[in-house]
Structure 1
Amino acid sequence: MAGVESWGEESRVKPTVKIAASVSVIALVLVACGSRVVPLSQGQLLPGQTVVPTVGPSGTLGPSTGPSVGGPAAGPSAAATVPPGIVNAACKAKSSPAPGVTATTIKLGLVAALTGPLPGQFDSAVEASDSFFHAVNDAGGICGRKVQLLIRDDNGNGQTDKEVATKLVTEDHIFAFVGSVSAPDDSGIAQVSKQYKVPDIGFPLSWARAENPYAYGAPGQLQRKTIGLNANGSGYLDKLHNIKQIAIFWLKESEVSILEAYGFESAIEQQTNGAMKICHEQPSGVLDSNYTNYVVAMKGDCDPRNGNIAVYTTMENNSNIKLAKAMRDQGFQPTVFAPTFSSYLPSFITDAGGSTEGAYIPMPQVPLERLTDTPQSQWTPGTFELQRYINALNRYHPNHHPPGSFGAPGWGEAGLFATAAAKCGDALTRACLFNQLNTMGPYSANGFIVPTTPSDHHIYTADLIVQVRNGKFVEIQPNNRSGPPGGPDFWDKSVLVDWQKYMCAHQNQFPNMSAKKALLTEC
């Protein structure tokens, strides 16, 4: 395809339109990271301050960065509907002994890094969860109870995270945490959730929170030892492009990023029975500004004469852009460049000066492009749920921040809570909520995100893939709709494997094992 010089293209694709630069997409990060976007309240929030309670008039969480987005019927006046199975007009709530639950309200808490070192990274998640509950309230509530969502800022600080989470439980008497997402350190909420046995349905970005038995995620949760065998689309992409060598980059500040990178290596070696050469490993820093030296080193280690090269990363978006620019400037053209979906952002295209052309991004959500590229007659259930999310966002937060990958989990987490709570009916207690979460089958927000079973506490094992083509995100779509039950769009399926066990049993396949062992528990 014209304009794709550096990285290969898949043979069966569907055309797309470019997401306007003003309608950016916040990154969903598998590591503690952040992209530099407009902060939610321009730094005016104080630690522990409430932002916008869901009960009452909808407020603006920050300055608008673009127009309303979406496809048919989207816009500020579009109707905001609620997914089926949540609102039951026949259900009449009674008073409850559960904290935060009355005959008329359910009080929830959300803790996010709205200011601090990663300003603006999580605004879309907060707006998504808040919009979901606004729509539920307008439709009649959960068994007639209106949701009150108390939003707190932790400045991305672990101690503040613990302090505001503690106050939400001990002073505000919330029923559960829903939609919380913070970095670099969200371990505080994990400590509070465990101490008080409070449900925490959110997106964990630390091991302490991911491994909290009272925590649940959508889509799933990261784990230290398990990863999908086709991690980050690698199984599909490596086979498609006959990859023989891989280089991998990670963030040295984040143990999650480091272990995810090791997990990628282990999964890829397991896919290929040890035939893949790991030609270069590169830790990098969030504040590193010059990737030239990294690329020069990679060029020395990864010789194209030894076969096609793939570059995978577990870095955040700004680092991925710097890497892409350095590879272009140094004339290093891997066959595949595939960051995680932290880079599903227009800035990955607009700020990269063409250097990200051809890059692949595997994703666990239906992409926004579906709303404008696909006739409504061909929409899947997940596309209709995407439209429901965008309609609610435009209605309740007309000056919203760019909707994006953190927004999808934020919507899904709110939906997961509401689905479980609705099944408890008028007898909503924490015990009932835990029971519903622990006995629920795969949850996918009606196909919008990859299905995962809440009680498994595992990360998702399927995705779909987009590629940057001619300055646009284009969905690579084999059109076989072969995804798992409840998520047919996510055709790139995988299975969970214990990557640490494989790595420790095949140490000769991996470089720098002496350093790796310091973080591994199975060697």
Structure 2
Amino acid sequence: MALLGVALAVSALVTACGGSALSPSYVRAANDAVQGQVAGGAADGGSSSTTSDPGAGGTGSAQSTSGDPAGSTRSSTSGGGASAGTGTASGTASGQPGPSGGTRTATAGTSATGGARASCAGFHNQTGITDKTITIANVADISGPVPGIFTSAQQAVKAYVAYFNATTSLCGRKLTLLPMDSRTDPTADQAAYLKACSNAFAAVGSMSAFDSGGAGTAQKCGLPDLRAAAVSDARNACTTCFGAQATDLHAFQNAVPDFFLAHYHASTQHAAMLYVNAAASVENARTQQAVEQKRGMRFVYSASFDVAEFNYTPYVQKMKQKGVRWVQFVGSQDEAVRLAQAMQNADFKPDVFLLDPTAYDPTFVKSGGSAVNGAFVFIDFTPLEEASTSKELRLYEAWLQQVAPGAAPSYFGIFAWSAARLFGAEAAGLGGRLTRAALVDRVRHVDGWTDHGMHAPQAVGPKVNSSCWRFLRLENGHWQPVGGRRYLCHGSTKLN
């Protein structure tokens, strides 16, 4: 069951929610983030207007505007859409909501603390803070049925701590990391958070398949928990817990069906959904299929398989009989590879074989070989192949090599680094007013967070997943952009 839990956890990350109305400035901000640029636009309460969802097949793109890469980290939301703060050459973005519900100005510089710092007057020691250090905890699945599944998240936080300590301090204090292993087990996750409550000021960049274990513990002690992502309802319900990749497990992004309806319309009318038959994966697959049908796709086959099942040939034969041309899969990497191999052995070649972002991993490419050639993934971050376009991604990669030589950057590492960056920025913004409660209140109002353009805007405080996604296709062992390098921003559909 632990192995199943890992599959369920990673599949949960593909769900999203949010209103389907997106302002033009939000779309522009998201796409400018890919370029590492500031997007101009009205601040919250300004004159920008929201428009209804462009619908299936819409482009959702806009021309980029120039600006300082440092200024593209955050934007504010207003109603169902979002508007980017006005950018300046100094990297200042306005319109960021403040703790009181109003707006505040955030300077998104390139230092380890993100730019603007508040006065250190009144700073005092407290749990996890001494005269010289601020201790942050990281809880990740290092051991378990899939050893090292989230090691990259912990490595990313170690990399940030090294970067921070080499370049700056916070009110005279350096960071100390308390790394812990949640062992792919809810009890271990809870035990780790009990330790974090007593010994750390905050938890940063954590990533666990069974993250429900420590959710109640974190909330009870008031521990700020700025995670890579949350994968359970319990963790999302935790009032002190937030994901740098924000998630809602009961909705799905419109950009995915809309993209394929626009570019592979005939194939989408002969679609199939395959998924592992257990808990969250069942709900995720059914939600995704329902949303895709509402957007205009037509499913001719849907089936689940048991986690212990290794023979996927019967499912492949059914798809061939049904004339399936578009296949979406919800499950683990290993299962996706087995399905791809079964399709290859049966000479079944659908036009589209679609996987979630967790397939964007060297292990999937290597183990799948020729069988996974042509697979699609949808992502909401700058792919590693495009690191030359992202200073932030290169910074993460460089410091990762400092703390873990030879380690490969990853999807989970990107968002764990982003969580650490967010912690640094928000803690520095509080300065002498830094407390656990103040940090939680500040993060609660963070929206449109992109970590200097490394990923699509994330509604961290509202816990609404990104509305903006782009697509890659595996070609001869290399991921290539499909439909350009710009995000498609079409909101999400949440089923009641």
| TM-score, shorter chain, exceeding 0.5 | yes
Question: Using a 3 Å threshold, how does the CA distance of structure 1 residues 84 and 181 change in structure 2: closer, same or farther?
Answer: closer
Partner of 1:485: none
Question: Using a 3 Å threshold, how does the CA distance of structure 1 residues 310 and 126 change in structure 2: closer, same or farther?
Answer: same
- What CA distance in whole angstroms lies between the structure 2 residues aligned with 1:390 and 1:28? 28
What code does the residue aligned with 1:396 have? V
Taking the TM superposition and a 5 Å limit, the aligned residue runs for 1:150-165 are 150-165=178-193
Partner of 1:223: 249
What code does the residue aligned with 2:276 have? L
- What CA distance in whole angstroms lies between the structure 1 residues aligned with 2:122 and 2:285? 50
Selected match of 1:435 from 441, 453, 473: 441
Partner of 2:369: 353
Partner of 1:317: 333
Q: Is the 8 A contact 2:222 2:437 kept in 1?
A: no
1:290 and 2:311 correspond: yes
Q: Using the TM superposition, give the Cα deviation of residue 239 of structure 1 relative to its aligned residue in structure 2, in angstroms.
A: 2.4
What code does the residue aligned with 1:277 have? R
Question: Using a 3 Å threshold, how does the CA distance of structure 1 residues 148 and 28 change in structure 2: closer, same or farther?
Answer: farther
What code does the residue aligned with 1:463 have? W
Q: Using the TM superposition, give the Cα deviation of residue 92 of structure 1 relative to its aligned residue in structure 2, in angstroms.
A: 4.6
1:261 and 2:285 correspond: yes
Question: Using a 3 Å threshold, how does the CA distance of structure 1 residues 86 and 93 change in structure 2: closer, same or farther?
Answer: farther
Q: Using the TM superposition, give the Cα deviation of residue 118 of structure 1 relative to its aligned residue in structure 2, in angstroms.
A: 2.0
Partner of 1:388: 395
- What CA distance in whole angstroms lies between the structure 2 residues aligned with 1:473 and 1:107? 38
Partner of 2:488: 492
Selected match of 1:181 from 198, 207, 221: 207
- What CA distance in whole angstroms lies between the structure 2 residues aligned with 1:395 and 1:451? 28
Partner of 1:444: 450
Q: Is the 8 A contact 1:186 1:206 kept in 2?
A: yes
Selected match of 1:271 from 295, 309, 320: 295
- What CA distance in whole angstroms lies between the structure 2 residues aligned with 1:435 and 1:420? 10
- What CA distance in whole angstroms lies between the structure 1 residues aligned with 2:177 and 2:277? 35
Structure 2: which 5+ residue stretches go unaligned?
Answer: 1-6, 14-108
1:31 and 2:47 correspond: no
Question: Using a 3 Å threshold, how does the CA distance of structure 1 residues 164 and 90 change in structure 2: closer, same or farther?
Answer: closer
Structure 1 stretch displaced more, 84-93 or 100-109 = 84-93
Question: Using a 3 Å threshold, how does the CA distance of structure 1 residues 282 and 28 change in structure 2: closer, same or farther?
Answer: closer
Q: Is the 8 A contact 1:29 1:342 kept in 2?
A: no
Structure 1 stretch displaced more, 345-354 or 430-439 = 345-354
Partner of 1:113: 141
1:214 and 2:210 correspond: no
- What CA distance in whole angstroms lies between the structure 2 residues aligned with 1:384 and 1:416? 16
Higher helix proportion, which one?
2
Partner of 2:467: 461
With the length of structure 2 as denominator, give the TM-score of the two structures. 0.74
- What CA distance in whole angstroms lies between the structure 1 residues aligned with 2:294 and 2:111? 40
Partner of 2:263: 240
Question: Using a 3 Å threshold, how does the CA distance of structure 1 residues 477 and 435 change in structure 2: closer, same or farther?
Answer: same
Please state whether the residue corresponding to 1:148 is helix, strand or coil.
strand
- What CA distance in whole angstroms lies between the structure 2 residues aligned with 1:131 and 1:279? 47
- What CA distance in whole angstroms lies between the structure 2 residues aligned with 1:430 and 1:469? 47
Question: Using a 3 Å threshold, how does the CA distance of structure 1 residues 408 and 28 change in structure 2: closer, same or farther?
Answer: farther
What code does the residue aligned with 2:491 have? V
1:135 and 2:135 correspond: no
Q: Is the 8 A contact 1:88 1:143 kept in 2?
A: no
CA deviation digits over 1:427-461, x for unaligned, max 9? Answer: 21012212221233411111101111222111111
Please state whether the residue corresponding to 1:188 is helix, strand or coil.
coil
Question: Using a 3 Å threshold, how does the CA distance of structure 1 residues 142 and 86 change in structure 2: closer, same or farther?
Answer: farther
- What CA distance in whole angstroms lies between the structure 2 residues aligned with 1:476 and 1:179? 30
Q: Using the TM superposition, give the Cα deviation of residue 470 of structure 1 relative to its aligned residue in structure 2, in angstroms.
A: 2.4
With the length of structure 1 as denominator, give the TM-score of the two structures. 0.70
Q: Is the 8 A contact 2:196 2:202 kept in 1?
A: no
What code does the residue aligned with 2:310 have? S
Structure 1 stretch displaced more, 142-151 or 336-345 = 142-151
Q: Using the TM superposition, give the Cα deviation of residue 385 of structure 1 relative to its aligned residue in structure 2, in angstroms.
A: 0.8
Q: Is the 8 A contact 1:89 1:144 kept in 2?
A: no
CA deviation digits over 1:366-396, x for unaligned, max 9? Answer: 011113xxxx5xx3xxx11111111111123
Q: Using the TM superposition, give the Cα deviation of residue 88 of structure 1 relative to its aligned residue in structure 2, in angstroms.
A: 7.0
- What CA distance in whole angstroms lies between the structure 2 residues aligned with 1:332 and 1:107? 53
What code does the residue aligned with 1:190 have? A
Q: Is the 8 A contact 2:115 2:425 kept in 1?
A: no
Please state whether the residue corresponding to 2:300 is helix, strand or coil.
strand
What code does the residue aligned with 1:258 have? V
- What CA distance in whole angstroms lies between the structure 2 residues aligned with 1:109 and 1:88? 24
CA deviation digits over 1:149-201, x for unaligned, max 9? Answer: 1111121111121122112213x2x1111111112x22111021122221111
